[in-house]
Chain A
Amino acid sequence: EPEVTQTPSHQVTQMGQEVILRCVPISNHLYFYWYRQILGQKVEFLVSFYNNEISEKSEIFDDQFSVERPDGSNFTLKIRSTKLEDSAMYFCASSERNTGGTQYFGPGTRLLVL
């Protein structure tokens, strides 16, 4: 069964460093998303992406964040200058269609900013 994959599974970085989280969505899906979950809190929407552009972004997704689909398979989330509060699980998701489209999630990347 097709699945969303994410790399790395864990990332430890120093505050102020740049990190790139990578995702490979399900191959025939057209809609892509990043969410995050801070420990003990709910899953929060960060950004959605369709047709090579951002569809919507949350308040969390400030100028330090960017997303890119550099080729036909990868979808990346970059945090330019990490802060302590960026420590969280980051989940990538993809869906085949927009309306009524189920989003399938990857296993997540645990980011720890020291």
Chain B
Amino acid sequence: DQQVKQNSPSLSVQEGRISILNCDYTNSMFDYFLWYKKYPAEGPTFLISISSIKDKNEDGRFTVFLNKSAKHLSLHIVPSQPGDSAVYFCAASAQIIQGAQKLVFGQGTRLTINP
């Protein structure tokens, strides 16, 4: 049951150019979306998030776009830097009445920034 999908297992981008990572979801109850960056043998590091009431959120070089009608979100990194090379995970959560909201993760996209 792949509720969150990242269809590109890998992406290679030249330093200084824009990196665009994509994510699709199927559960219309998802109302909060996050991007995490992960290095091998480390925990996921939070990058940026977006609520379903917005269609764009920007933080420095990182911008997340949400298209609810298409159930699609994307992460733009510009300009891309060598330190951005990592695996990027898209995650989503659905509001529940009480208790803790779990995250559902995509499979991840390995981004490689070439000098």
Binding site for B on A (CB under 8 A): 4, 6, 31-33, 35, 41-45, 48-51, 55-56, 58, 89, 91, 93, 95, 98-108, 110
Contacts and interface: CB of A to CB of B under 8 A. Distances in A.
A12 to B, nearest CB: 15
Nearest to A44: B105
A108 B41 contact: yes
Interface string B71-108: 00000000000000000010100011011111111111
Q: 4 smallest A-B Cβ distances: which pairs? A: A55-B99, A48-B100, A105-B43, A31-B100
B41 A100 contact: no
Given A98-B96, A98-B98, A99-B32, A45 B104 contact: yes
B45 A56 contact: no
Contact of B102 (A4, A6, A33): A33
Given A45-B103, A100-B31, 11 more contacts: A6-B43, A42-B106, A48-B99, A48-B102, A91-B43, A98-B96, A99-B31, A99-B32, A103-B46, A107-B42, A108-B43
Contact of A98 (B51, B89, B101, B106): B101
19 contacts: A33-B100, A35-B103, A35-B105, A42-B89, A43-B89, A48-B100, A48-B101, A50-B99, A51-B99, A55-B96, A58-B102, A98-B95, A98-B101, A102-B46, A103-B46, A104-B46, A105-B36, A108-B41, A108-B42
A95 B49 CA distance: 14
Contact of A42 (B42, B100, B105): B105
B75 to A, nearest CB: 15
A102 B43 CA distance: 14
B16 interface: no
